[in-house]
Every structure is written in structure tokens, then in C-alpha cells.
Amino acid sequence: MYRFAFVLTAVLAMAAAAAAQAGTWQIDPNHSAAQFSVRHLGVSTVRGAFMKVSGSAKYDPADPTKDSTEVTIDANSVDTRVQMRDNDLRSPNFLDVQKYPTITFQSKQTKSAGSGKLQIIGDLTIHGVTKEVTLDVDGPSAPIKDPWGNQRIGASASTKINRRDFGINGAPGVVGDDITITIDTELIQPPAK
């Protein structure tokens, strides 16, 4: 009887852990960022980030095909550490943030890409243009419980785009066309009530 109770307790603990992992997770904007890199004059790489990222993910560790992801990036939050360049990126020459204030990603399909990796296919919208892209994802990490009782996981997703596909044509020959995007996220799931 004792052994049965022990096994039952272990099974219930594993089920509770799985339930804590599955479900909807919110992006923690204070511990997430979207970075990009692009060639300048073909001789150096310029890196920057968007400092305001929000969104959510539905995550089922047992079945990635049930996963979904929504990410919204504040285009005005671009930061390359050079104010003049950031202002140019916000202008109609590039992102035109007055007209297109957000960059969004909406997943359409998620699949396993090996141990600890996922592939997420979805629609990326930049500058009012939507194109399908594939994100290569490292993670999500194993969940941990933070000091406040929340579950947390992390993941890093990357893709490469051609900016001209999104109608961003400023500074030809100066700014490269290929842009690598990396989104590092920490996601949080409050305790069940």
C-alpha cells in the first residue's frame, strides 16, 4: 500500500509539473529583446535592438504542433546606440514608425527540430508588409519556479530576411539588404488559482 501511495504521489507530481508547463505564457518585456544585425558598406556589421517586446505563447511540451506564438515589437523603440541613425531608422527612409508603429509575428505552425529545438513558421509584418518566415528556436528551456511562485521558461529564436521584401529600400549600397533577427524571450506563467 505504501509503495502504491508513493507511486501515485510521484505520478500526481509529474502531472502537476506538466500542467504548469502547458498553457499560455506571457513574454516578460523586462527580460526580452529583439536584436538585429545588418552589413554597413559591406565592410562591417551594425547591431541594434528593439527595446519594447510583448506577446504570448501557448506551449505544450508534449505536442509542439499545439503551440502558437504572438509577438509585438514597438518599432519606435529601435536602439543602435547612435541617436542620428536611430532617428533615420524611425523615418520614412526605413521603418516609418509614424505610419507603421509595430512589427508583429503571428505563428501558423510549430514543429520539433531536434532535441531542445523548434521551428516556428508564421507571418512577419514589417513596414505594413506581411511575409512568411521560419524562426529557428533554441528552447524553450526547462521551466523554473521564481521566488514569487511563477513558472518561467526562456527561448531564443532567429531568422534572416531581405529588407527589400518588406518595402524598406533606404540607403541602397550603404545598408545591406540581408538582416538577421534574433528574439530572446523570457516567458512567465503565474501560478494556477
- pLDDT, one tens digit per residue, over 83-114 is 999 999 999 999 999 999 999 999 999 999 99
Residue 191 has a pLDDT of 84
How many Å from the N-terminal Cα to the C-terminal Cα in the chain? 32
Q: Is the pLDDT of residue 2 over 60?
A: no
* Residue 7 zone, left/alpha/beta (φ > 0; ψ -120 to 50; rest): alpha
Residue whose grid cell is 502558437: 68
**Radius of gyration (C-alpha) of the chain in whole angstroms:** 20
Where do the structural domains in the chain lie, given as residue ranges? 2-189
- Helices marked H in 26-168: 83-90
User: ∠ at Cα 124 (119, 128), nearest 5°?
Assistant: 175
Q: Is the pLDDT of residue 184 over 70?
A: yes
Beta bridge partners of 74: 102
User: ∠ at Cα 170 (169, 174), nearest 5°?
Assistant: 110
Position 21 confidence tier, pLDDT thresholds 50, 70, 90 = low
CA 85, CA 65: separation in Å to the nearest integer?
40
pLDDT in tens, 132-155: 999 999 999 999 999 999 999 999
- How large a percentage of the chain has pLDDT more than 70? 89
Residue whose grid cell is 504572438: 70
Residue 190 has a pLDDT of 86
CA 35, CA 51: separation in Å to the nearest integer?
9
pLDDT in tens, 113-139: 999 999 999 999 999 999 999 999 999
21 vs 47, residue with greater confidence: 47
Residue whose grid cell is 545588418: 38
Fold topology of 2-189: Lipocalin (2.40.128)
